[in-house]
Amino acid sequence: MNKRQEARAMAIEALETMPPASQLRSPLDYIFADHFRQRVLCRVLDDIADAEACDTELLTAALDFLKTDFAPHVIDEEEDLFPLLRRRAEPEDRIGEVLDDLSQEHAADKLDADRIIEGLQQARERGEGPLSEAFQALLHRFAANERRHLIVENAIVMPLARARLTKDDLSTLGRRMAARRGLDYPKTDDVG
C-alpha cells in the first residue's frame, strides 16, 4: 500500500469511527476528538472535489459522517456547550461575540452540509464523471470555512471551557451528548 492509499484508508477509518463512549465522561475531550474527525472530513471533501473520478468509498464515508455525526456535534455546542460557557464565563473573557459568530457559522454550515449531502448522494448514484465546478467550489468553501471555525473553537472556546466549566457542568454536558447519540452515559468503572 502506497502513502496515498494509506492516507485514504486512515481517513475513511477516522470518519467511520466515533470517539469511544467512555470519553463522554470527559466531554471536552470527546468534542476535541470530533474536531479531529471534522478536520479529516475537510481533507476528504477537498480530495473529492479535486478527484478526476468518483471514489465511491471515500464519498460514502464523507456522506455518512455528514448525515450521522455532523449535526449532533453542532447541537452539542449550540444547545449545551455554548450556553454553559456563557453562564460560566467572566466578563473579561469577552466570549459572547465569539460564540455569536460561531453560531452564525453553524447555521450557514448546516445549509451547506445539506447541499453537500444532496450532491454527494447524486454523485454516488451517478458513480462516474467529474463533479460540477459549482459543487467542487462548494466542497472547497465548506472545508475552508470548517478549518477556520475549528481553529477558533480549539484555540479559544475549548481552553476557556476547560478553565470555566464546573465538574457538574461537564457531567451534564456528557450526559446530554450521550443521550443525543442514543448511548448510555458511562459509569466510572467503564472509563479505561
pLDDT in tens, 89-128: 999 999 999 999 999 999 999 999 999 999 999 998 887 6
Distance CA 25, CA 11 (A): 26
Residue pLDDT, tens place only, 133-155:
999 999 999 999 999 999 999 99
3-state SS record for 37-92 = HHHHHHHHHHHHHHCCCCCHHHHHHHHHHHHHHHHHHHHHHHHHHHHHHHHHCCHH
Query: Which pLDDT score, from 0 to 100, does residue 34 have?
Result: 96
> Percentage of the chain surpassing pLDDT 90?
88
Distance CA 160, CA 164 (A): 6
**Across residues 78-90, what is the average pLDDT?**
97
Rg, the chain, Cα only:
18
Given a cut of 50, is residue 192 above it in pLDDT? no
Cell numbers at 162, concatenated: 476547560
Residue pLDDT, tens place only, 8-39:
999 999 999 999 999 999 999 999 999 999 99
- Per-residue confidence at 188, pLDDT binned at 50, 70, 90? confident
Residue pLDDT, tens place only, 30-77:
999 999 999 999 999 999 999 988 889 999 999 999 999 999 999 999
Query: Which pLDDT score, from 0 to 100, does residue 130 have?
Result: 78
Given a cut of 80, is residue 159 above it in pLDDT? yes
Q: Spell out a b/e string for 41-62, using b for 16 or more CB atoms within 10 Å of the CB, else e.
A: bbebbbbbbeeeebbeebbbbb
Q: Phi, psi (5° rounding) for residue 18?
A: -70, 155
Distance CA 107, CA 1 (A): 40
Query: Which pLDDT score, from 0 to 100, does residue 190 have?
Result: 52
